[in-house]
Amino acid sequence: MKKTLIALAALAATASFAQSTVTISGIVDVGVKSVSNVAPGAAKLSVGSGNNNRIAFGVTEDLGGGLKALANAQMRFDPASGTTEGSNNRPLFQGETRIGVSGGFGTVMLGRGLTALQLPNGGNSDPWGVSTVAGSVYAAGFATDYAYGGEGRIDGGVWYTSPSLNGLTISASYSPKTVALTSGFSGKSTSVNALYTNGPLVVGLGNEENRAGDTITQLYGNYDLGVAKVFASNATVKGGTTAERAGLTLNATSAAVPTGGAATQVAAGGKITNNTVGVTVPMGAISLRAGYSVWNGNGAPGQKDDNKLGFGVKYDLSKRTYIYSDVASQTRKNNSAGVSPATNNSKVSSFDLGVAHSF
């Protein structure tokens, strides 16, 4: 009798989960990094991550009638210390915690994650995405949310992604979360993006406003020529008003650009333009990468003027494991006077060598 009950329970459990799929994926990336110009007392040589190390859990359940339930949770961690990403300042599930449904109408998700603009632009606008010392995916000065871990992500958000219509996908994200400000201002986050994919061509256009009133408008894309893939991006960042920032603590860093020094956000009422070009050249198991980025803040206080040149090579040991090495040279102009590397016309040279495995 007991065996029969156990068998029936196992059968019922199997039936209830038959339409559900659970996946576990992620990446572990560790390398050696050298930066020539660092803050006093900081180490020039370090062992750490070149990419964003993560473990992701995904759940899909078929609800019938063309509907599916979705849930995603992504942990981010520092492989050199075993702690959570950002020296334990960021959330344990820094990457994503969202749940929603999809169907013929598109996809609706709720929770925490990359905004509508930040989700697709990384791999589509830069040869490195957000990885290695050479990457430059974000326009300097813009942080999606000024809370720790707010680089590209929002808390308490709602997302909508449309079905693809002849290669065109429209997405939007919104967070009504109220930020406690001394001025009484109630910040919100909005982001919209259009992504067009047609064979070798990918083009995206998006606009985003964070809780401090800062905005970014970005046009980006790439084209696969077969022998090479070329990338390009143009972005404009504008700072919110002083009143909108009153009471905010600007904890989030503001892009990949400040390698070797502290990141600073766009000044209140300020403006920064960002242009990037890049290329990847596949050669069997080897891929060559190159990119150049320019940030122009017109020399105004708080508006960094930078340019950055990067080169890299990636060698695939298998479909899941690769080694990489990159070099980058960055020149900063019209920065605030003070201690190197934030001083005017300072130069930063960077090098990395690492190995990564995705699963």
pLDDT value at residue 74:
96
Query: Could you tell me which residues come within 8 angstroms of residue 139 by beta carbon, excluding any fewer than 6 positions away?
Result: 216, 218, 235, 236, 237, 255, 272, 274, 295
Show the 3-state SS of the chain: CHHHHHHHHHHHHHHHCCCEEEEEEEEEEEEEEEECCCCCCCCCEEEECCCCCEEEEEEEEEEECCEEEEEEEEEEECCCCCCECCCCCCCCCCCEEEEEEEECCEEEEEEEEECCCHHHHHHHHCCCCCCCCCCCCCCCCCCCCCCCCCCCEEEEEEEEECCCECCEEEEEEEECCCCCCCCCCCCCEEEEEEEEEECCEEEEEEEEECCCCCEEEEEEEEEECCCCEEEEEEEEEECCCHHHHCCCCCCCCCCCCCCCCCCCCCCCCCEEEEEEEEEEEEECCEEEEEEEEEEECCCCCCCCEEEEEEEEEEEECCCCEEEEEEEEEEEEECCCCCCCCCCCCCEEEEEEEEEEEEC
Question: What is d(CA 260, CA 133) in angstroms, rounded to the nearest whole number?
Answer: 10
Identity of the residue numbered 272: I
Write out pLDDT tens, residues 30-56: 999 998 877 677 788 989 888 889 999
The end-to-end CA distance of the chain, in Å, is 43
CB contact at 8 A, 278 and 230: yes
Give residue 7's Cα distance to chain centre: 47
Ordered per-residue pLDDT tens for the chain, 359 residues: 444 444 444 444 444 444 789 999 999 999 999 988 776 777 889 898 888 899 999 999 999 999 999 999 999 998 888 888 877 778 889 899 999 999 999 999 999 999 999 998 878 988 987 788 888 655 567 888 877 777 788 889 999 999 999 999 999 999 986 655 444 446 789 999 999 999 999 999 999 998 888 899 999 999 999 999 999 999 998 988 887 777 666 666 654 444 334 445 677 888 888 899 999 999 999 999 999 988 887 655 555 577 889 999 999 999 999 999 999 998 876 555 544 554 556 788 899 999 999 99
pLDDT value at residue 251:
66
CB contact at 8 A, 297 and 307: no
Name the architecture of domain 21-358: Beta Barrel (2.40)
pLDDT value at residue 151:
76
pLDDT value at residue 61:
97
170-186: burial string, b at 16+ Cβ within 10 Å, e else: bbbbbbebebebeeebe
Domain limits, the chain: 21-358
pLDDT value at residue 299:
54
